[in-house]
């Protein structure tokens, strides 16, 4: 399925020609601060798997030694999480018509207590997720 999305002002437009709509929810503190809530993310994509128009409006912020986050310089919309040297992860809210299913929740132990998402997806704590991420390295 092709997805077309844009920031609030429309200066940055993103087209994803083909994607499986499997959504990961990240409850980490950085995502909560950057996205204003938990991060509902589409699957990771390499730079060759999407088209971005309006790159001159994209500001990148090095949020850690291993990642950067992008936002629109004009309207402030959160655009992506980029694992350096790896994939880009886009918030579902940028795109119209997303019909995906939540496949996992990560940093679940960091989730605010005032809400509960209704799904049967695996829920990994920070420790469990990091152990899984660095398994075999």
Span 23-78, pLDDT tens digits: 999 999 999 999 999 999 999 999 999 999 999 999 999 998 889 999 999 999 99
Residue 136 confidence (pLDDT) above 60: no
Residue 79 confidence (pLDDT) above 60: yes
Arithmetic mean of pLDDT, 74-89 = 95
**pLDDT averaged over the chain?**
93
Higher pLDDT, 99 or 109: 109
Binned at pLDDT 50, 70 and 90, residue 82 comes out as: very high
Binned at pLDDT 50, 70 and 90, residue 21 comes out as: confident
The contacts of residue 32 (CB under 8 Å, 6+ apart) are 38, 39, 110, 112
Structure tokens, 74: 């004009």
Quote the pTM value: 0.91
Residue 48's SS3 state is helix
Binned at pLDDT 50, 70 and 90, residue 1 comes out as: confident
Over its C-alpha atoms, the chain yields an Rg (Å, rounded) of 15
Phi first, then psi: what are they for 129, rounded to 5°? Answer: -65, -45
- Tell me how far apart the terminal alpha carbons of the chain are, to the nearest angstrom: 34
Residue 95 has a pLDDT of 95
Q: With respect to CATH, is domain 3-101 assigned 2.170.150.70?
A: yes
């Amino acid at each position: 399925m092709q997805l077309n999305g844009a920031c609030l002002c429309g200066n940055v437009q993103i087209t994803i020609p083909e994607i499986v709509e499997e959504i990961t929810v990240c409850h980490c503190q950085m995502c909560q601060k950057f996205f204003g809530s938990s991060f509902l993310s589409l699957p990771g994509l390499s730079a060759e798997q999407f088209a971005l128009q309006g790159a001159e409006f994209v500001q990148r912020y090095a949020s850690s030694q291993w990642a950067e986050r992008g936002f629109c310089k004009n309207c402030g919309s959160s655009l992506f999480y980029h694992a350096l040297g790896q994939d880009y992860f886009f918030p579902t809210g940028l795109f119209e018509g997303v019909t995906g299913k939540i496949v996992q929740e990560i940093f679940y132990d960091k989730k605010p207590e005032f809400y509960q998402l209704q799904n049967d997806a695996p829920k990994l704590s920070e420790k469990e997720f990091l152990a899984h991420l660095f398994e075999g390295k």
